Structure 1
Amino acid sequence: MIDIHCHILHGIDDGAQDLNEALAMARIAYDDGVRHIVATPHYKTGYISHKALVDERIRELQAALDEAAVGITIRRGNELCLESADFFHEHYRLQNFHYLAGGSSFLLIEQPWKGYCPDSLDIVEYLVRQGVTPIIPHPERHGFFRDNPVLLTALLEAGAWTQVTVDSLLGKNNEDAKTFAFRLLDRGEVHTIATDAHNVGRKPNLSEGFRIIEAHQGKAAADAILGRMKQVIGL
């Protein structure tokens, strides 16, 4: 399996605190069946995780994984916050952040928790024109999407994908997030899933997500989601 959204890199944001915790998270993921993890540290005010820092942490973690014989490949990424059009275009112009898997085709773009970014549709349309598929992480956790789902629909119609978090399907975030996650699933609007794991408590649990989706919608739906995740990392 492939986890396309995970805060496994140590000492870089609010994810793994040190290399030992990053290794522990990787072991949990490996035992769960994951073989590829896209490391996606936050890229926003307060956590400006530039490419060089991300690459340094990945080299350190991959070396530790190889030494410990944990068969997981760590791939580059960031979770870019859409703070404003100015913030996006400044950092996009300088190419300060990583696309998912270090390519140039998929970008994880997070909404601010304080409220919907009104520039979102323009940014999504801009990225799509550049040949980039924006992926919106955990839309089910944002009250503004639940209260006004046309905001999300407009982004999907413009070419964005969603990434629903396994904990939401499990009901660990809250019942509103769970209900909306299943509504997206029923509408065929769950393009990818991920753990959004941050530590050994908020841990990797990807197999649970696929189990739920297969039970709810069948193996073909789960396979289609996995197929899109393979596209993200170029498999």
Structure 2
Amino acid sequence: MIDIHCHILPGVDDGAIDMAMAVGMARLAHEDGIRTIVATPHFNSVFLVESGTVRAKVSELQAELDRLNIPLAILPGNELRLERPQFIYEALKEKRFCYLADNPGYVLMEQSWEGYNEETPDVVERLRAQGTTVILPHPERHIFFRQQPELLEELLGIGVWTQVSVDSLIGNNGAEAEAFALSLVDQGQAHTLATDAHNLRRKPNLSLGYKLVEERAGADAAKQIRDRMELIVASSIYK
């Protein structure tokens, strides 16, 4: 399995605090059946983890996993936050963030927790114009998408993919997030699954997500999600 959203890099954001925790998360991920993780530290106004740091930390963690004979591939990425359009445009021009698996076809871009940015469709269209698909992490956790589902429908209509978090599907993020996440699965609008793991408690648990998708939507739906994940990492220069 491939996890496209995981805060496993040590000491850069609110994820793994050190190498020991990162290795512990890697062991849990491998036990769960995950074989590739796209490391996605935050790129926002609080944790501005830039591409150079991401790639250096990925190399450092990969070397440690190889030394310990943990067969897990770590690829670079970021979780961008749409603080404002200009924040994204400037970072895009200066190449300050990593696309998912360094594949310019896909970027993970979240909304602010304070509220929906009404200029999101404009940013999405600008990225689409350069051939980049925006993947929206954990929409089920944002109250504005739950209260105004038409906002999400508009984004889906212009090509945005969703990334539903396993913790939401199994109820760890509250009943409302669980219900919305399950509805996305039922409607075929859960385009990708990820763990959004941050530590040994908020851990890699991707197999639970696929099991639930298969139970609710069937094996074909789960396979379509797996195929999308493969597309994301297929062009990685690190493979």
Identify whether the pair has TM-score above 0.5, normalized to the shorter chain: yes
**Percent of residue pairs identical:** 49
Q: State the distance in 2 between where 1:118 and 1:83 align.
A: 11
Q: Which amino acid aligns with 1:203?
A: K
Residue matched to 1:228 = 228
Q: State the distance in 2 between where 1:188 and 1:117 align.
A: 25
Is 1:85 aligned to 2:85, yes or no?
A: yes
Q: Which amino acid aligns with 2:119?
A: D
Displacement after TM superposition at 1:118 (Å): 1.6
Q: How does 1:22-61 map to 2 (within 5 A)?
A: 22-61=22-61
Q: State the distance in 2 between where 1:132 and 1:217 align.
A: 28
Q: How does 1:1-235 map to 2 (within 5 A)?
A: 1-234=1-234
Q: Please report the RMSD computed on the Cα atoms of aligned residues, expressed in angstroms.
A: 0.7
SS at the partner of 1:135?
strand
SS at the partner of 1:48?
coil
Displacement after TM superposition at 1:130 (Å): 1.0
Q: Which amino acid aligns with 1:195?
A: T
Runs of 4+ in 1 over 3 A off after TM superposition: none
Q: State the distance in 2 between where 1:75 and 1:59 align.
A: 9
Displacement after TM superposition at 1:144 (Å): 0.2
SS at the partner of 1:57?
helix
Aligned residues: 235
Moved more, 75-84 or 116-125: 116-125
Displacement after TM superposition at 1:119 (Å): 1.4
Q: For 1:108-155, what per-residue CA distance to the aligned partner results, in whole angstroms no more than 9, with x for missing partners?
A: 001001111121111111111111000000000000000001111111
TM-score (norm 2): 0.97
Displacement after TM superposition at 1:92 (Å): 1.0
Q: For 1:79-122, what per-residue CA distance to the aligned partner results, in whole angstroms no more than 9, with x for missing partners?
A: 00000011111111111000000111000001001111121111
Q: State the distance in 1 between where 2:117 and 2:93 align.
A: 19
SS at the partner of 2:109?
strand
